[in-house]
A and B are shown apart, each in its own frame.
Chain A
Amino acid sequence: MKELSLNVLDLVQNSIKAGADCVAVSITESVSSDLLTISITDDGCGMDEEFLRRVTDPFTTTRTTRRVGMGIPLFKMAAEMAGGSFEISSRKGEGTSLRAVFQLSHIDRPPLGDMAGTVAAIVQSSPEMKLIYELKTDEGAFTFSTEEIKEALGDVSLSEPEVVEWIREYVRENELALH
């Protein structure tokens, strides 16, 4: 993956497949502590202990059509190559939570990239799901929540092109203000 925001998009697809009603993506970028932390928490179906133990293995997947599952291994590798770490926890029936920490200034850390594009793509794919995206930097914090905009939209779907475009621009503008 060229950008970490693409890993986030990919991993949230796992949450969607796990039937999550709510997914929270939280990113903390701190120049002062030289760390970038990305965490994703969902209330999907979760995994049992046995599956969780081998979930970072690229030959583990829930798919039945093929035997590889690269999403989590790629994210873990990206963190470990950038002087960081990866952890994942899950309980069957309750949900899954994962977190990767990167050394912000590490030469091998991929750029975070277009998180606004990722948020727009997630909302476009699952307009009914609740998504909370939070970005914290040394300059401040920004939170985007689909619940907030659902109120303003009434019965208009979040997957309408006009709405998706608005979300992309809204997130982008607010992120720029934090850098």
Chain B
Amino acid sequence: MKSIEDLKRIREEMQNKIKLRSEEGAETRVVVGMATCGIAAGARPVLAALVEEVGKRNLENVTVRQTGCIGVCRLEPIVEVFEPGKEKVTYVKMDAEKARRIIAEHIVNGHVVEEYTIGAAEGGANA
């Protein structure tokens, strides 16, 4: 069973990490659309998977954020990746598994997962 006591341990661990983070600087933002359209299409498990992966892999300079309707409701759940000095990458029709792949391949290894991007979805036969 989880208890409030666990939080004190997390607090101690985090305090060291926060120091590290402020020294490293520039951060990557991963943003999930969480308006009615995104939520109905399955954004909650996508968000949960992203948060879990970032935590598990101890990715210090990556933050997961939520935003409202991105504007292309039919392609939800949508995830946007903002890396310092790079062009924004928009991933569409996400699910938890695809989200985990984005963390592993794009965020960790630096390779954009082309097949999930809005360009691939809109340019392909399913457009």
Q: Is the CB of B66 within 8 A of A1?
A: no
CA distance A13 to B10 in the complex (A): 27
Q: How many residues of B contact A (CB 8 A)?
A: 33
Q: How many residues of A contact B (CB 8 A)?
A: 38
Q: Which A residues contact B (CB, under 8 angstroms)?
A: 1-2, 6, 9-10, 13, 17, 63, 65-66, 69-71, 74, 114, 117-118, 120-121, 124-125, 148-149, 152-154, 156, 160-166, 168-170, 173
Q: Which B residues contact A (CB, under 8 angstroms)?
A: 1-2, 4, 6-8, 10-11, 13-15, 18, 34-37, 39-40, 44-45, 47-48, 51-52, 54-56, 64-66, 68-69, 71
Q: Is the CB of A162 within 8 A of B14?
A: yes
Set of chain A residues within 8 Å of B64, measured between Cβ atoms: 124, 161
CA distance A78 to B56 in the complex (A): 37
Q: Is the CB of B48 within 8 A of A168?
A: yes
Q: Which residue of the partner chain A has the closest CB to B6?
A: A166
Instruction: Report which of A63, A125, A156, A160 forms a contact with B66, defined as CB distance below 8 A.
Output: A125
Q: Is the CB of A6 within 8 A of B11?
A: no
Q: Is the CB of A121 within 8 A of B6?
A: no
Q: Is the CB of B7 within 8 A of A9?
A: no
Set of chain A residues within 8 Å of B48, measured between Cβ atoms: 117, 120-121, 168
CA distance A65 to B13 in the complex (A): 43
Q: Is the CB of B55 within 8 A of A117?
A: no
CA distance A152 to B11 in the complex (A): 8
Set of chain B residues within 8 Å of A166, measured between Cβ atoms: 2, 6-7, 10
